């Protein structure tokens, strides 16, 4: 009773002194505070591909400070520009340098260098806003300078033309991760969306991972088969990433990460950078996307050489079969699952903006990351948790790759 009276007296005293009440922060306020100090580092954005395809890599044809008024060869506005990156609290971006997996080896090498050149030109054209980052320290320096750290990720091992020498030279040009495959299985690594050749990694594929470790290039396991994921985890000495994948335990999809692989991440230190591709996030949307692809094939068979008829056919089909809704809650469900299986230290974000035709309803472009962080705060994620998801986890992976390379440099020579 004496203790209760003391507490009551303290409360009364505070009230009499006019002390302000302690107000609980809203989820939006928690998210904003976390992102102010720890802006997002996103693992995958295809703006370089858009610049190449829409504008023929002609920088006079667009203004990256605001791309909404410019559509180029594509009628839809881009998902990305500097103004919306700022609005979305993005402080670092891995720009994807993607090339068609069907290209011959010699052309693939040329095209990936041209894509890397686009990133360098983008940074050089907008130096007041963007800053090239090759290391984790560079990312931190860009933040200190008030600029968006610009990193380079190669999407697909076909980019190196079966050559470790080319791998080394793309690293020298600034590439800091490589996705081992894209949709097509390679001579040395199996894709998740093609027939296998090596039951994972071939002997040369093992050499690729080892050389990436020696260089300090992060191994990216998005797009690869489960067998390739496991072989890479068996071989690598550095943390890996999935630059734009989600959780197979929530939505069964060949591009998502199986539970068995998630369970290995704590030992490896790697990160799944959850993507916003609707068909990876929601089973109904996945099934709709599969049906839409089938209808595209049907239209091509019914109307060969008649693009207008195909377009009308598909428009009518979509009117009769609207795409199932996907929202920020679906993205958060995948993050919840990865946290439950692998832990909070193994989550990042890789939106795949400007590489996908559809986005979640409430995540239309790069300005919308705060909505996701508010949803996570609403679910009980702390400001510290949000900071890890936004950037601290991927920075830890980068430093892990860098320290592994420094250690290997003392004993291991180029292969």
- Annotation says 42 is catalytic: no
Active-site annotation holder among 42, 46, 220, 248: 46
In this prediction, residue 3 carries a pLDDT of 43
In this structure, what are the phi and psi dihedrals at residue 90, rounded to the nearest 5 degrees? -95, 120
Could you give the CA distance from residue 177 to residue 400 in angstroms, rounded to a whole number?
13
- Spell out where 271-365 has E strands: 271-274, 347-349
- Annotation says 182 is catalytic: yes
Could you give the CA distance from residue 368 to residue 351 in angstroms, rounded to a whole number?
10
* Distance of alpha carbon 172 from the chain centroid: 22
- Annotation says 319 is catalytic: no
Active-site annotation holder among 42, 138, 155, 402: 155
Which of these ranges, 72-76, 85-89, 165-169, 344-348, has the smallest mean pLDDT? 72-76
Could you give the CA distance from residue 131 to residue 138 in angstroms, rounded to a whole number?
9
Q: What angle do CA 226, 97, 338 make, to 5 degrees?
A: 40
In this prediction, residue 410 carries a pLDDT of 79
DSSP 389: I
Answer for the pair 273, 243: CB distance below 8 angstroms, yes or no. yes
Residues 6 or more apart whose Cβ sits within 8 Å of residue 190: 181, 196, 197, 198, 199, 200, 201, 224, 225, 227, 228
Active-site annotation holder among 42, 44, 190, 354: 44
Residue 12 has pLDDT above 80, yes or no: no
Residues 6 or more apart whose Cβ sits within 8 Å of residue 344: 385, 388, 389
Active-site annotation holder among 138, 211, 352, 354: 352
Could you give the CA distance from residue 406 to residue 92 in angstroms, rounded to a whole number?
24
Cα–Cα distances (Å) from 140 to 6, 101, 307, in that order, read 49, 34, 49
- Annotation says 155 is catalytic: yes
Could you give the CA distance from residue 85 to residue 11 in angstroms, rounded to a whole number?
45
Categorize the per-residue pLDDT at 43 as very low, low, confident or very high, splitting at 50, 70 and 90.
very high
In this prediction, residue 33 carries a pLDDT of 96
> Whose CA is closest to 244, among 349, 90, 101, 155?
349
- Annotation says 46 is catalytic: yes
Active-site annotation holder among 42, 190, 211, 223: 223
- Annotation says 28 is catalytic: no
Which of these ranges, 24-28, 88-92, 132-136, 389-393, has the smallest mean pLDDT? 24-28
Answer for the pair 263, 293: CB distance below 8 angstroms, yes or no. no
In this prediction, residue 324 carries a pLDDT of 96
In this prediction, residue 203 carries a pLDDT of 98
* For range 20-42, the mean pLDDT: 89
Count, residues in the chain: 415
Residue 119 has pLDDT above 50, yes or no: yes
H-state helical runs in 126-202:
136-144, 164-172
Cα maximum dimension of the chain: 89
14 or 240, which is more confident?
A: 240
Active-site annotation holder among 42, 79, 190, 244: 244
In this prediction, residue 204 carries a pLDDT of 98
Active-site annotation holder among 42, 49, 158, 182: 182
* CA-derived radius of gyration, the chain: 23
Could you give the CA distance from residue 54 to residue 69 in angstroms, rounded to a whole number?
13
Extract the tokens encoding 95. Answer: 């720009």
Burial class (CB in 10 A: 0-12, 13-18, 19+), 19: exposed
The pTM of the whole model exceeds 0.85 = yes
pLDDT, tens digit (0-9, with 9 covering 90-100), for 171-185? 999 999 999 999 999
- Annotation says 137 is catalytic: no
* For range 9-23, the mean pLDDT: 46
Answer for the pair 384, 38: CB distance below 8 angstroms, yes or no. no
Q: What sign does the dihedral 333-338-343-344 (CA atoms) show?
A: negative
In this prediction, residue 6 carries a pLDDT of 44
């Amino acid at each position: 009773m004496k203790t209760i009276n003391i507490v009551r007296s303290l409360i009364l005293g505070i009230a009499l002194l006019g002390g302000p009440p302690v107000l609980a922060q809203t989820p939006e306020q928690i998210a904003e505070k976390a992102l102010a100090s720890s802006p997002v580092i996103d693992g995958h954005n295809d703006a370089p591909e858009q610049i190449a395809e829409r504008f023929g890599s002609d920088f006079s044809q667009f203004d990256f400070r605001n791309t909404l008024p410019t559509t180029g060869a594509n009628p839809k506005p881009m998902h990305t520009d500097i103004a919306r990156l700022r609005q979305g609290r993005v402080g670092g971006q891995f720009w994807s340098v993607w090339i068609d997996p069907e290209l011959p080896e010699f052309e693939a090498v040329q095209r990936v260098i041209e894509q890397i050149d686009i990133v360098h030109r983008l940074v050089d054209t907008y130096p007041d806003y963007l800053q090239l980052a090759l290391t984790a320290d560079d990312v931190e320096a860009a933040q200190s300078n008030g600029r968006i750290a610009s990193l380079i990720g190669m999407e697909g091992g076909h980019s190196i033309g079966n050559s470790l020498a080319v791998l080394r030279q793309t690293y020298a040009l600034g590439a800091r991760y490589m996705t081992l495959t894209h949709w097509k299985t390679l001579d040395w690594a199996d894709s998740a969306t093609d027939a296998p050749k090596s039951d994972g990694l071939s002997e040369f594929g093992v050499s690729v991972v080892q050389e990436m470790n020696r260089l300090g290039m992060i191994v990216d396991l998005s797009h690869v088969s489960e067998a390739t994921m496991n072989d890479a985890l068996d071989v690598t000495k550095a943390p890996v990433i999935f630059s734009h994948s989600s959780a197979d335990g929530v939505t069964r999809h060949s591009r998502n990460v199986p539970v068995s692989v998630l369970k290995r991440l704590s030992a490896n230190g790697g990160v799944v950078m959850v993507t916003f591709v609707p068909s990876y996030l929601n089973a109904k949307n996945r099934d709709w996307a599969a049906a839409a692809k089938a209808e595209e094939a049907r239209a091509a068979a019914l109307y060969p050489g008649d693009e207008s008829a195909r377009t009308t056919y598909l428009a009518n089909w979509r009117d009769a079969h609207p795409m199932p809704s996907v929202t920020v809650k679906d993205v958060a469900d995948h993050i919840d699952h990865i946290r439950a299986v692998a832990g909070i230290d193994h989550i990042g974000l890789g939106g795949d903006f400007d590489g996908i035709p559809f986005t979640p309803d409430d995540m239309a472009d790069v300005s919308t990351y705060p909505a996701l962080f508010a949803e996570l705060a609403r679910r009980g994620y702390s400001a510290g948790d949000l900071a890890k998801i936004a950037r601290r986890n991927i920075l830890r992976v980068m430093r892990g790759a860098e320290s592994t390379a420094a250690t290997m440099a003392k004993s291991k020579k180029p292969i």
